Structure formats: C-alpha cells, structure tokens
Amino acid sequence: MNSGAPSPSQQINLGPSSNPSAKPSDFHFLKVIGKGSFGKVLLARHRADDQFYAVKVLQKKAILKKKEEKHIMSERNVLLKNVKHPFLVGLHYSFQTADKLYFILDYINGGELFYHLQRERCFLEPRARFYAAEIASALGYLHSLNIVYRDLKPENILLDSEGHIILTDFGLCKENIEPNGTTSTFCGTPEYLAPEVLHKQPYDRTVDWWCLGAVLYEMLYGLPPFYSRNTAEMYDNILNKPLQLKPNISNAARHLLEGLLQKDRTKRLGCTEDFIEIKNHIFFSPINWDDLNSKKITPPFNPNVTGPNDLRHFDPEFTDEPVPSSIGCSPDSALVTASIKEAAEAFVGFSYAPSMDSYL
C-alpha cells in the first residue's frame, strides 16, 4: 500500500492526509477549474489547515454506465506511484461517498499547455525543447515503473506556478507493461493516436514517444502533425501521409520529429532503449538532465501567478460556472438506493491515506 509513499527526506506536510475518514464537508469548494467525462476538477481549501488542493470529483454512476471503473482504479494506482517525480501531479489522498469519488491532488495554477499554445499559436524552439524534455523525463519515469501513459496531449500537460511541466490525468494509463510487453486497447485522443493504435494492432511503450512527437510538432507549428477537421481524413493521414516538416526549424528538431513520428513502431526513436534514446538525441544536447530533474533550470516562461486565488490561466468557461452544491455533501443514508450500493462495491479499495509509519 505504501509503495508510493515519499521518503522521510521529502518531509511532505501531511496535513489531514493521515485521516482516512476524510469527507467532502472538510473542504470549502471555491471554483470549477476543469471538466472531464465523469465529473469536474475544483479548487478547494481544506477547512482545517487552509491548504489549497485541486479536487477531482467523479460521478460513480457515469463511470459505471461506461464501464470505466478499471480505468479509474488504474488512475488511483498510478497516482500512488507518482509521489517521487517532479513533473507528475501528486495525490495527497482519495476518498469516496455513496455516489462520488474524490481525488485530492496538488493544485497547479500555471494553466494548461493547450491554453498557452492557443494564446501564442506556437513556441520558439528553446521553449518547446524545455517542455519536451520535462515531459520526456516524466514519461521515462512512468515507463521505468512499467506504466504506459497513452494520453499525452496539451490538455493533460499543466504548468506550475513557476512554469515547470506537470503531467496530469492518468485515467488511460496501462500498468504492468514490461519493456517488451504490448497491450491492445483502442484508446487515446484522435489527433495524437499512433498508427499502430489506429490499426488496432498490439502496441508498446513507444506509443508515448509518438505522442511526444505529436505534441512537440504542435508546439513548434501550432497544429498536430496530421491534423484535419475531418476525423476520417485525419486517421488516413496518420496511417498513410508522409510527415511534412516546414523549413523553419533546426535540423536537430527535424531529425527528432522524424524519429518520434516514425509510423513503424519497430523503427521509432525509443524502440530499443526507451527514454535513454530520447535523452541522448542531439536536439536535447543543451539540456543538463540532472539540473532539469532537480528544477535548477529556469523555465523559459513564468506564468506570474500571484497566489492560489489567481485563476488567470484557467479558461473562464470553467471558472464562470457555479460550484454545484452537491459537491460538498454526502447523500442522505435514507436515499441510498440499490444502484448506489452497486457503485460502492465497484470501487472497493479506492480510498487512500498515507499511513503514519511511512513518514517516520
């Protein structure tokens, strides 16, 4: 259970995390800051210690309806292993009520990479390199735990208050994929799907390096590599259209994109030595990876947030939405129906609090 517990040297402020009987009323829910298929992400302040958190609230009914409970439990398991990496969002604890699941996560308010890309259209190469390096470091770490991420896209990449990358949303992660292991579930986001996924063939961890190539391409050019408004046409492009690179990028960037966006996964950059191949590519030669991982490199862009209440980098489409009153309360026990009981059984073991002995 404590496989993801931080070492004592990290001295994480436990706050109320050691209390396994956490409940929605412990929090003051302030703003909606994001939305997903099964619920919302809210900025919340813990009433006891005044700490700010991002709280992901999921509706059990919606998850069960789409038979996605395995993905949710997988997300929880992956979050528990993420404690030790600087570019992955951290889970403080999780709990459930009869009808909802709650993830209590690090609050990151520098905005989605997607939001910044939309505003600036594309990034200069040094900035794109910095982000790609931090993303690659996070993916390499997940791979070292035999986890394939599978859903890399600018909406799942956040900037923290200093401008460092934080990967979030582990709902599509696949655990227990050994270095030569494959999986075959068709999942991901259309623009970033690798050819082997579209072909419904078994695929391996190199699927994440394809997605890194797609995100880097988008950072440099403003659109994903094979983009079309017509999804069928876009799928055809991904499968059959040769990669076209405009001349306004360096040879090193061009070579990296060609390696990552190689349609044949057995020839793709990263197919033999995984992250080591990415790390050693000439495009990343200006990066000192030890300094990168200890956050000693100053980010090329500072979101300049004034504090937790500064929501300037969140889409007003979310923040203007009223906070639903049901978020902060548990259903009356008299109203617990058969379907709610079924929901409770589907998420056995979801709740998590670090045990005290893991901090001693």
Domain CATH code at residue 90: 3.30.200.20
Q: How confident is the model at residue 14 (pLDDT cuts 50, 70, 90)?
A: very low
Residue 146 CA to residue 61 CA, distance in Å, equals 30
The average confidence (pLDDT) of the chain is 86
Q: Among the listed ranges 8-17, 71-80, 137-146, 294-303, which one has the minimum average pLDDT value?
A: 8-17
| Interval 264-271 mean pLDDT | 97
Is the same domain home to 243 and 318?
A: no
67 is in an annotated binding site: no
Note the pLDDT tens digit of each residue in 26-41: 999 999 998 877 889 9
> Who wins on pLDDT, 316 or 132?
132
| Interval 195-209 mean pLDDT | 92
CA-closest candidate to residue 300, choices 113, 126, 75: 126
Note the pLDDT tens digit of each residue in 95-104: 888 889 999 9
Q: How confident is the model at residue 342 (pLDDT cuts 50, 70, 90)?
A: low
2 falls within a domain: no
Note the pLDDT tens digit of each residue in 314-338: 988 899 999 988 887 766 554 555 5
SS3 341: helix
- Give me the pLDDT at residue 236, please: 97
301 falls within a domain: no
Active site residue 291: no
| Domain CATH for 160 | 1.10.510.10
Which residue among the candidates 26, 50, 106, 151 is catalytic per the annotation?
Answer: 151
340 falls within a domain: yes
Is the same domain home to 168 and 210?
A: yes
Beta-carbon neighbour count of residue 105 at 10 Å? 20
**Residue percentage of the chain with pLDDT more than 90:** 61
Is the same domain home to 89 and 132?
A: no
Is the same domain home to 127 and 188?
A: yes
Considering the entire predicted model, what is its pTM?
A: 0.86
140 falls within a domain: yes
Is the same domain home to 129 and 96?
A: no
Note the pLDDT tens digit of each residue in 148-178: 998 999 999 999 999 999 999 888 888 878 8
Contact status, residue 53 vs residue 104, Cβ threshold 8 Å: yes
State the residue range of the domain holding 43. Answer: 24-108+307-346
Q: How confident is the model at residue 275 (pLDDT cuts 50, 70, 90)?
A: very high
1 falls within a domain: no
Is the same domain home to 288 and 317?
A: no
Q: How confident is the model at residue 72 (pLDDT cuts 50, 70, 90)?
A: confident
Is the same domain home to 163 and 285?
A: yes
19 falls within a domain: no
Is the same domain home to 204 and 158?
A: yes
pLDDT tops 80 at residue 201:
yes
> Who wins on pLDDT, 79 or 161?
161
Task: Find the radius of gyration of the CA atoms of the chain.
Answer: 21
Is the same domain home to 102 and 122?
A: no
Count of structural domains, the chain: 2
For residue 39, what are the β-bridge partners? 58
Note the pLDDT tens digit of each residue in 308-320: 999 999 988 899 9
11 falls within a domain: no
Is the same domain home to 43 and 154?
A: no
- Give me the pLDDT at residue 20, please: 55
> Who wins on pLDDT, 127 or 80?
127
Is the same domain home to 167 and 226?
A: yes
Q: How confident is the model at residue 110 (pLDDT cuts 50, 70, 90)?
A: very high
Is the same domain home to 134 and 236?
A: yes
317 falls within a domain: yes
- The stretches of the chain forming alpha helices (DSSP H) are 60-65, 69-81, 113-120, 125-144, 195-198, 206-221, 231-240, 251-260, 275-279, 289-293, 316-319, 338-346
